[in-house]
Structure 1
């Protein structure tokens, strides 16, 4: 039986559970970050400067996370919101947890007085399961992303 899903801001007591989900997220995207990068991110998420984090709980178990930030835009006098990371434990995918996390970011964007309410994000084109959700709650942009060659 599924408990009620609770979404709330990340708290210092959540560090261990957040780290486990973060590492699973990195594994999903086949990324290997240095420990100090993860440590720095966690401190920023808890600092109220820049990045923000919400987490999803089923009962007492953290089952999802979302990281986002507000930034200035050259196309508006108001800030916009970038949803940078979203991850739901594999056993809870399809449960509505991802949708609720995104909707919580939408609510944060609507509540931020300096922001336009706009929210955008990226995903890999092969992330078909997530794209099923994204196609229902967002509009696919026609922008193509480029990265600097190194």
Structure 2
């Protein structure tokens, strides 16, 4: 029988699970990161600071099955900070079981507890499965991202 989903903050002892999940996330988007980036990102997730990234892991049956990274930052559009949900990943065999929704809702709860103005994120237009969820729990404001 499947246990309920457990979501908690990334801890130092989670590095192997986190590396596996984040590596799978990067592979999903057909990219990679150097070991220095892995080390730096994991250290930042464990740091305690207002503008450091935070991370949550989702566990089912004692297995890490999902992750989310989020960062609060200042904005010119509100007196309160906002929250950027940077990375969201769920192992493929757990997709459609509520892992992604639970991770997003956990970030919503963190943002509410910090009185942040909003939570926003980006996804690739081809990520149709994820967009089915996103369209149910958030608004697509139609912006197109440009990068240098």
The answer to whether the superposition gives a TM-score over 0.5 is yes
In the alignment, what sits opposite 2:76?
74
Instruction: Point out where structure 1 has 5 or more consecutive residues left out of the alignment.
Output: none
In the alignment, what sits opposite 2:67?
65
CA distance in 2, matches of 1:33, 1:16: 15
Following TM superposition, by how much is the alpha carbon of 1:48 offset from its aligned partner in structure 2, in angstroms? 2.1
2:86 to 84, 87, 90: 84
Corresponding position: 1:127 with 2:127? yes
Q: Report the RMSD for the aligned CA atoms in angstroms.
A: 0.8
Instruction: Point out where structure 2 has 5 or more consecutive residues left out of the alignment.
Output: none
Indicate the structure with greater strand content.
Answer: 1
Matched residues, number: 146
In the alignment, what sits opposite 2:14?
14
CA distance in 1, matches of 2:3, 2:141: 35
Following TM superposition, by how much is the alpha carbon of 1:2 offset from its aligned partner in structure 2, in angstroms? 2.0
CA distance in 1, matches of 2:59, 2:6: 5
Q: Give runs of ≥4 in structure 1 deviating > 4 Å.
A: none
TM-score relative to the length of structure 1: 0.95
In the alignment, what sits opposite 1:108?
110
TM-score relative to the length of structure 2: 0.96
SS in 1 for 2:56: strand
SS in 2 for 1:78: coil
CA distance in 2, matches of 1:142, 1:99: 21
CA distance in 2, matches of 1:17, 1:37: 16
